[in-house]
Amino acid sequence: MEFLVASSIGLLSACGVYMLLRGRTFPVVIGLSLLSYAVNVFLFAMGRLQVDMPPILSDTATGYTDPLPQALVLTAIVISFGMTAVIVVLALRTYLEIGNDHVDGLPGEPTDSGETK
């Protein structure tokens, strides 16, 4: 199980990083989501992998799994969902406003970064 979890985290992050380095907003958004899935699974694994163990202390249980990573993952999932929503909306708005979906704007077009209005 360790091998399976570790390699799936690795595969997810590799694909995420690759997509993140693309020049267009849609692959970048997908890349960020993949990366955040990888991070969430990774955080789960941080409490050591346990199967069928309760996360709550009780007298009858034979062993426990660490509940804290699950709380962390819950927070991280909520935040990454919110962030994905923000960046999707922003990508759409940017596309409508500047007419292309390149992260840098049109390649080769001079930028006017001094304009603050």
User: Which spans of this chain sit near other proteins (rule: CB under 8 A)?
Assistant: 20, 25, 28, 32, 35-36, 38-39, 42-43, 46-48, 68-69, 72, 75-76, 79-80, 82-83, 86-87, 90-91, 93-94, 97-98, 103-105, 111-117
Residues with Cβ within 8 Å of residue 25, at least 6 apart in sequence: 91, 94, 95, 101, 102, 103
Distances (CA, A) of 77 to 1, 33, 102: 23, 10, 27
Residues with Cβ within 8 Å of residue 31, at least 6 apart in sequence: 15, 16, 17, 18, 19, 20, 21, 22
Least Å from the CB of residue 72 to other proteins = 6
Nearer to other proteins, 59 or 115 (CB): 115
Nearer to other proteins, 54 or 66 (CB): 66
Least Å from the CB of residue 41 to other proteins = 10
Nearer to other proteins, 61 or 103 (CB): 103
